[in-house]
Every structure is written in structure tokens, then in C-alpha cells.
Structure 1
Amino acid sequence: MSEPTIDRAAARELRVLVLTGYGLNCEAETAAGFRMLGAHVDLRHVADVLDAGPDALTPYGLLAFIGGFSFGDHIASGRVHANRLRYRLGDRLLRFVGDGGLCLGICNGFQTLVKLGLLPGGEPGLHQRVTLIDNDRLGYWDAWVRLVVDPASPCVFTRGIAELELPSRHGEGKLVHADAAQRAVLEDRHQIPLRYADAEGRATEAWPDNPDGSPGGAAALCDPSGRIFGLMPHPEAYLYPENHPRWLAQRAAGLLPTAGLGLQILANGVRAAIA
């Protein structure tokens, strides 16, 4: 992959809000990625945003829910964080999304978006409809995974990407649907933009290529508009080609990209926000 092409003048007008605090810990990498693309990034503690008044989210075009262990993952990953946001910020979040704002949730951020009810979306209000539970093989698993993209997905963050590798590190990432009918609807609407893949590039449920056992290899969700996106792997941890564990072999083979492939996901979000 070459360096993402971005309208830098337009990107400088975009303000990205990265929520921090309460055990979240990937703010530096997430902010760095968006700043590399020219966007203006504000890192703000969740408590400050909750107390900031009715226009707390108004200046922003993209809201990033980062990885980490919010509230120590007590009860379940993302549960306490989601409850606080629903009852203290819910109306403002719905207005932000209704006005066309983008949301990106990474790992714990994905867990939060699901339990908050912003994903999979498609219904009014904030009502949880799916969840993310303990991996089939219990315990925290940290490894790079291969991902394939559904080209028919409305997700704006995955446009122009066929497949990529990203680091994945979580203990609660198995996507669970309310029933088979709900899963079928999400499949039909192509709201599963990323799937774990095996060495041949086929979506898989087999460990370790699929670290959590999500059915159909689901590694992400988007809402019907494609502007709200959550994924378990970490694009912000692959901003530079040297982040990849096999970068020396890639360079020797002439396959080293000029930018980390995770940066492309952030770049797509920036493009969509300034379009």
C-alpha cells in the first residue's frame, strides 16, 4: 500500500474526538494515526465530555472509541462504559450520528458500541441487539490475524481494501446474535465488513485464524449507513510498515508497503468525514 491520498486542506478542518480515561489505553496510537492524515485530534477524558453540555460533540466529524480495558472490564468488556455513555451522553450521541457524524470503535470501543446500541444500528434509539462474549478458547489472545473485506458492505472505513493483516488482542470478541433471523438480516445487508480468514483467504471459524470463534468469521460490524464501524483487531497498531512482525521479510521480497495497512482504515474514515 502507498501513502493514503488525502485532501490535506479539507482534513485540517476535520476535528476528531478520541475519548480517554477509565482504563482506555490506545489513545496515543489512535491520535497519531489521524494526525498523520492531517486531521485535528482532541483527546478528552470521558468525564469531561459528559459534563461539557449539550454541544459537547458538535465540533466533531468523527468520534473514536478506543481500545483498552474500560473500567477494568468489570461485569463484561465495555458494559460499564456503555451504560455511562447511554445515560449521560445518549441524546447527544444520537444527534451526532443523526447529523452525519462518523463513529469508529476499536476492540474495547467495538464492545462499547455494541453494548451501547449504536451497532448494528438500523433502529431508533439506543437498544442493544447483539453482544460480544468470551472467546471460545478462554483467555486473552494476542496475535496478528488475516482479514478479508466484503466489497458489497456499505462500510465507509473499508472501501478500496480487499484484505489486510492487523494485530488482534482480546479475550471477549465472539459476536453473538439474538437469533438466526437477526444474523441473516445483517448478512443480507452486508453489515459484516471484515471477516477472519485462513491462509487461503477464506473466512473461517477455526482457531487460531479466528481468535474468538465468531460465527462466519465476523471480526467487525457496521450500521446500515456504513458510517458507524466497530472491529476487534487494531488498525491503529499498524500505522507504519515496520509495525508488521514480518516487515524484514516483506522488504526482502519487495512487498513492504510504504504505510501500515491499518492507516488505510483511518484514512477512509477521514475521507468520508470530509466528503
Structure 2
Amino acid sequence: MKVTILQFPGTNCEYDTQNAFKSLGAETEILWHKSESVPSDTDLLVVAGGFSYGDYLRSGAIAKFSPVMKAVIKYAKDGGKVLGICNGFQVLTEAGLLPGALKRNESLHFISKHHHLKVVNNDNIFLKKLNKNDVINVPIAHHDGNYYIDENGLKELYANNQILLKYCDENGEDKNPNGSVDLIAGVCNKERTVFGLMPHPERAMETLLGSADGVKMLQGFLEA
């Protein structure tokens, strides 16, 4: 499997992401933002975390105008698999590939810690190796992770089973770290080909480093 990972000025998780997928046996390539095409052998395109363009204006708002994004949008529209992690999630919402938007955390502070998540829907390649209602422990690190969508949009997400993950505590009870609507931590598009989440599964690959719960999350893509 070939995983292509986007790199913008300010991206800081591309090598963590590369290491995570390599550890699972995938071939990887890092793609600079000035590229005007996605490699033809790409099986999964990852928009990695960080602070693209310094998060000026809004997180992801400038990155969506990078030359590579036209190719990313075409790749997604043609049915290609795309995963946006943290800043990558922000970029995908700004580009219109995922519904909703990411706002400043309710506390107005940057949050960096492990946080539990509940699996809401696993009828997709991303979370198929996990069970519905599983509670996993994955790092979060963001200043603008407060997911927002209006009432009609939220109803549509529920109707189409597009909500993937919600924030919770170790017992699966509600625990919201950033103010996200309905505790939403990750969503997908209607076609279940584009996925976005604020937590960092690529940083949860080894128990020694706090959690290996990211392994099953990313493995789903390799077995698609």
C-alpha cells in the first residue's frame, strides 16, 4: 500500500505519520505543497497535523489555496481515500471536503494531552478494526479543535452515520476538552472516503509512549 503525506510550511507531524504507516508495512512518500499532482500510485492521501502557514487567518484557511489542493480535491472527488489529522482536518473542512468547521478551543488555551475517545461508527475503512462504543486513548494537541456545525448539518451527520468519534472519559462518559458540538472528535464524508479527526492516532502507536490505540485505527486503511 502507498501512503502519500502532504507537507505544508508549518506542518510538524508528517514524519510521525510516515513512521506510523511504515511501522505497519506501508510504502510512504511526503509530498510538498507546491506539487500540482498526487502520485498516481497513491492508495491513501494523508493531510498531516501541524500549523500550516502558521495558522494565520484561520487554521487551514491559507493551506486550502496551496497548488497541491486542486489535486487533492480532484483525488477526493474521484473516490480516493483521504485522511486529515488535526490541522489536516482543519484543511479539509476549509477546502469543503468535510462538513463543519474548527473554532478556537472554548478555554482559549492550547491543549496537549492524552484524551479518551468513543467509537461512534465503525462502518468505514478507518475504524473497521474497532468495535462500536470502544473507548480508546489517543493524544490531542490543538488550539482550534472546537468542532462546529449548525443544527441542520448536525442532523444530517447523524442521519448518514458520518460522526466517527466522540470525546469521553476512560469509562465512556461525556468529557469535552474543547467545546466541540456534541463532543464530536472526528467525521467523514457521505461516501466514507474522506476522514478527519482532531486527535493524533499517529502518536498512539507504542504502549511505551502512552498508548498503542492508534494502530488499529490506521490498520483499517491497509486492509481496505
What TM-score does the superposition give when structure 1 sets the normalisation length? 0.76
Distance across 2 between alignment mates of 1:210 and 1:26: 24
Counterpart check, 1:136 vs 2:106? yes
Number of the residue aligned with 2:92: 113
Change (3 A) 1:264 1:66: same
Structure with more of its chain in helix, by fraction:
1
Task: Using the TM superposition, give the Cα deviation of residue 174 of structure 1 relative to its aligned residue in structure 2, in angstroms.
Answer: 0.9
Partner SS state of residue 38, structure 1: coil
Mapping of residues 175-194 of structure 1, within 5 Å = 175-177=147-149, 179-194=150-165
Amino acid in the other structure paired with 1:107 = C
Amino acid in the other structure paired with 1:221 = V
Gaps of 5+ in 2: none
Counterpart check, 1:236 vs 2:202? yes
Counterpart check, 1:36 vs 2:23? yes
Identity %: 32
Cα pair 1:154 1:224 within 8 Å, conserved:
no
Number of the residue aligned with 2:9: 22
Distance across 2 between alignment mates of 1:89 and 1:82: 6
Mapping of residues 151-170 of structure 1, within 5 Å = 151=121, 153-161=122-130, 162-170=134-142
Number of the residue aligned with 2:54: 72
Partner SS state of residue 65, structure 2: helix
Larger Rg: 1
Distance across 1 between alignment mates of 2:38 and 2:194: 19
Partner SS state of residue 177, structure 2: coil
Amino acid in the other structure paired with 1:165 = N
Task: Using the TM superposition, give the Cα deviation of residue 21 of structure 1 relative to its aligned residue in structure 2, in angstroms.
Answer: 3.4
RMSD: 1.6
Task: Using the TM superposition, give the Cα deviation of residue 230 of structure 1 relative to its aligned residue in structure 2, in angstroms.
Answer: 0.6
Structure with more of its chain in strand, by fraction:
2
Partner SS state of residue 213, structure 1: coil
Cα pair 1:103 1:228 within 8 Å, conserved:
yes
Cα pair 2:185 2:199 within 8 Å, conserved:
yes
Distance across 1 between alignment mates of 2:82 and 2:202: 15
When structure 1 is superposed on structure 2, of 58-67 and 93-102 the one drifting more is: 93-102
Distance across 1 between alignment mates of 2:118 and 2:58: 28
Number of the residue aligned with 1:101: 80
The count of aligned residue pairs is: 221
Change (3 A) 1:94 1:20: closer
Cα pair 1:57 1:96 within 8 Å, conserved:
no
Task: Using the TM superposition, give the Cα deviation of residue 200 of structure 1 relative to its aligned residue in structure 2, in angstroms.
Answer: 2.6
Gaps of 5+ in 1: 1-13, 121-129, 248-259
Cα pair 1:154 1:225 within 8 Å, conserved:
no
Number of the residue aligned with 2:146: 174
Task: Using the TM superposition, give the Cα deviation of residue 38 of structure 1 relative to its aligned residue in structure 2, in angstroms.
Answer: 1.4
Cα pair 1:104 1:230 within 8 Å, conserved:
yes
What TM-score does the superposition give when structure 2 sets the normalisation length? 0.92
Per-residue deviation, residues 121-173 of structure 1 (Å, max 9, x unmatched)? xxxxxxxxx2100011001011111100113x543211132221001010101
Distance across 1 between alignment mates of 2:4 and 2:170: 36
Alignment partner of 2:43 out of 51, 56, 61: 61
Change (3 A) 1:20 1:94: closer
Change (3 A) 1:34 1:71: same
Distance across 2 between alignment mates of 1:210 and 1:57: 38
